[in-house]
């Protein structure tokens, strides 16, 4: 079992106050955009003489060393970071990707987003591309079954919600707390027959903690819980609808539901279509808290994964690894960043 250290991380705590100056600092001081500094350093686009001088002055003042510059060029940086997600159209991932792309832009990087739902070979091909220098780093949120490929590469990788070995920092929310909060909300709401929908257990993801915690809390309260294990790597809406209907009709006694946004909303739709009243007859707590749960009536009570914070952590780490030469910084070993979750009350409990 993985021991999770509860690190409520602030940037300074991880990186220290004497953080090595990065492109962002140079840009700020020179009064130009990070993209401009990036272009000037990597000679990848037009920059006026006046601007070049401003940048050189800023580099000097911040002691952004010539060695780093040489290293950037030597290492043939492309200025592109790949972000791998299982399915770009799945609400949580598209929101996360948008935030990551926006944050990476501020650091002067472009983002290559890749959906790997088609096949697990896709993930391996991206690692190959990484090794051939086409991207400077990868942020991966993919839950493929093979982790050996990640262990072989020495390129900068940051993992989202998946343990990939001690050299790869992992960023995720406090799933244990999330699962406990969800259980407590349904207990408080008076549920007597509860079901939770869990992702495939074949994947080694910290997200499972939420279901372990949920079941445990329910057990403490002596409330029966069914756990339905969803198929691996299925993100399509039709599948969730099918599961919702199957479960709903087989188990009319269910009065409490816990699952990720799309599953929760699919179940809600089925119940409403069959004339159930929410929350009177059925209570629902979703997990993720995306648009799917807020742009609907009634709004769904949800355990929210704070996407902006998750993105900030992932991007700070990948940029740090890239700019720091990946692995030369002792501070980047064994990093597990656990971001706090919170409950957002809706009309379904």
Q: Which residues pair with 194 in a beta bridge?
A: 225, 256
Q: Is 24 in the site for a second copy (CB under 8 A)?
A: no
Give me the 106-125 binding string for a second copy, x by CB under 8 A, dash otherwise: ----xxxxxx-xx--xx--x
Give me the 27-46 binding string for a second copy, x by CB under 8 A, dash otherwise: --------x--------xx-
Binding residue for a second copy (CB under 8 A) from 272, 306, 309, 340?
272
Q: Is 242 in the site for a second copy (CB under 8 A)?
A: no
Nearer to a second copy, 67 or 295 (CB): 295
Q: Is 268 in the site for a second copy (CB under 8 A)?
A: yes
Q: Is 89 in the site for a second copy (CB under 8 A)?
A: yes
Binding residue for a second copy (CB under 8 A) from 105, 163, 228, 239?
105
Q: Is 153 in the site for a second copy (CB under 8 A)?
A: no
Nearer to a second copy, 60 or 118 (CB): 118
Q: Is 297 in the site for a second copy (CB under 8 A)?
A: yes
- In the complex, least distance from residue 281 CB atom to a second copy, rounded to whole angstroms: 14
- In the complex, least distance from residue 50 CB atom to a second copy, rounded to whole angstroms: 19
Binding residue for a second copy (CB under 8 A) from 80, 203, 223, 343?
80
In whole angstroms, what is the distance from residue 221 CA to residue 219 CA? 5
Q: Is 273 in the site for a second copy (CB under 8 A)?
A: yes
Tell me if 142 sits within 8 A of 87, measured CB to CB: no
Q: How many CA atoms lie within 13 A of 55 on its CB side?
A: 23
DSSP of 138-206: EEE----S--HHHHH--S-EEEES----TTS-EEEE-HHHHHHHHHHHHHHTT-SSEEEEE--TTS--T
DSSP of 278-293: TTTT-EEEEEE--HHH
17's CB contacts (< 8 A; 6+ apart) are none
In whole angstroms, what is the distance from residue 93 CA to residue 232 CA? 16
In whole angstroms, what is the distance from residue 319 CA to residue 308 CA? 16
- In the complex, least distance from residue 233 CB atom to a second copy, rounded to whole angstroms: 14
In whole angstroms, what is the distance from residue 116 CA to residue 89 CA? 11
CB atoms within 10 A of CB 39: 19
In whole angstroms, what is the distance from residue 22 CA to residue 72 CA? 12
- In the complex, least distance from residue 87 CB atom to a second copy, rounded to whole angstroms: 7
Residues near a second copy (CB under 8 A) are 35, 44-45, 78, 80, 87-89, 91, 94-95, 97-98, 101-102, 105, 110-115, 117-118, 121-122, 125-126, 128-129, 132, 134, 237, 241, 262, 265-266, 268-269, 272-273, 291-292, 294-297
């Amino acid at each position: 079992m993985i021991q999770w250290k509860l690190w409520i991380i602030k940037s300074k705590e991880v990186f220290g106050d004497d953080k090595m100056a990065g492109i962002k600092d140079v840009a700020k001081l020179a009064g130009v955009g990070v993209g401009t500094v990036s272009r000037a350093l990597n000679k990848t686009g037009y920059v006026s003489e006046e601007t070049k001088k401003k940048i050189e002055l800023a580099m000097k003042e911040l002691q952004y060393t010539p060695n780093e510059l040489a290293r950037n060029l030597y290492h043939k940086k492309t200025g592109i970071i790949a972000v791998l997600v299982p399915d770009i159209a799945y609400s949580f991932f598209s929101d996360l990707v948008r935030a990551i792309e926006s944050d990476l832009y501020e650091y002067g990087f472009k983002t290559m987003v890749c959906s790997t739902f088609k096949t697990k070979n896709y993930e391996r091909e991206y690692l190959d591309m990484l090794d051939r220098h086409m991207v400077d780093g990868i942020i991966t949120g993919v839950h493929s079954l093979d982790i050996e490929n990640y262990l072989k590469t020495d390129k900068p990788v940051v993992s989202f919600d998946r343990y990939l070995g001690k050299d790869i920092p992992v960023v995720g929310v406090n799933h244990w707390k999330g699962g406990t909060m969800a259980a407590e909300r349904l207990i408080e709401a008076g549920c007597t027959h509860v079901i939770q929908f869990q992702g495939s257990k074949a994947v080694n993801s910290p997200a499972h903690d939420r279901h372990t915690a949920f079941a445990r809390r329910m057990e403490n309260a002596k409330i029966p819980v069914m756990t339905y294990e969803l198929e691996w790597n299925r993100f399509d809406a039709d599948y969730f609808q099918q599961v919702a209907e199957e479960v709903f009709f087989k188990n009319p006694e269910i009065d409490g539901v816990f699952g990720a946004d799309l599953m929760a909303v699919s179940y809600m739709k089925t119940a409403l279509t069959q004339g159930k009243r929410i929350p009177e007859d059925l209570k629902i707590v979703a997990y993720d808290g995306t648009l799917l749960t807020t742009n609907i009536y009634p709004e769904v009570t949800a355990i929210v994964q704070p996407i902006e914070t998750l993105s900030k952590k992932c991007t700070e780490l990948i940029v740090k690894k890239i700019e720091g030469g990946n692995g030369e910084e002792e501070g980047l070993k064994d990093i597990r960043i656990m971001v706090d979750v919170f409950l957002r009350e809706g009309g379904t409990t």
